């Protein structure tokens, strides 16, 4: 379910944050369910526990998970915050892109049409 891509130039902990954030947002990690422990996940992925810890800490900061000393880490039961976390990232990325488009005078209409095209193209290939 959770894997890391060593070809990806982003730091490992960031890949983990994104991956777990996605799974939680889509409900594939049930709200309230327990995540693998820091040590266990570190073993599974053959990476250092500190790196997992860093990812979990960031996820907790974002309200995606809650960690309790001595008990473990759990997916947040506040389902709204699960999705909001990811949607905010999309909106931030979009704002940056539009900023670039305005600088280049890339017309709004083409931008929107490209977006629509990508949505339909992506939508088709889904099972």
Partner DNA sequence: GTGGTCTAGACCACT
Partner DNA sequence: GTGGTCTAGACCACG
The residue ranges that bind DNA (CB under 7 A) are 11-14, 35, 37-40, 47-51, 53-54, 56-57, 60, 67-73
* Cβ atoms of 75 and 33 closer than 8 Å: yes
Q: Give the residue with the Cβ less far from DNA, 25 or 65.
A: 65
Enumerate the H helices of 1-127 as residue ranges: 12-25, 38-45, 49-61, 79-104, 108-124
Among 3, 46, 80, 90, binds its own copies (CB under 8 A): 90
Measured at the alpha carbon of residue 9, what is the angle toward residues 5 and 13, in degrees to the nearest 5? 65
| Calpha distance 39→53 (Å, rounded) | 9
Binding site for its own copies (CB under 8 A): 6-7, 9, 11, 22, 25-26, 61, 66, 68-71, 77, 83, 86-87, 89-91, 93-106, 108, 111-112, 114-116, 118-119, 122-123, 126
């Amino acid at each position: 379910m959770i894997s890391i891509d060593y070809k990806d130039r982003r730091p490992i902990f960031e890949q983990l944050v994104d991956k777990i954030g996605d799974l939680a947002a889509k409900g594939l990690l049930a709200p309230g369910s327990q995540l693998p422990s820091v040590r266990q996940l570190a073993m599974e992925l053959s990476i250092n526990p500190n790196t997992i810890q860093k990812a979990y800490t960031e996820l907790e900061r974002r309200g995606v998970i809650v960690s309790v000393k001595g008990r473990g880490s759990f997916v947040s039961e506040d389902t709204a915050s699960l999705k909001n976390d990811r949607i905010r990232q999309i909106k931030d990325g979009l704002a940056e892109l539009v900023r670039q488009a305005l600088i280049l005078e890339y017309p709004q209409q083409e931008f929107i049409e490209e977006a629509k095209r990508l949505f339909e193209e992506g939508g088709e290939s889904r099972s």
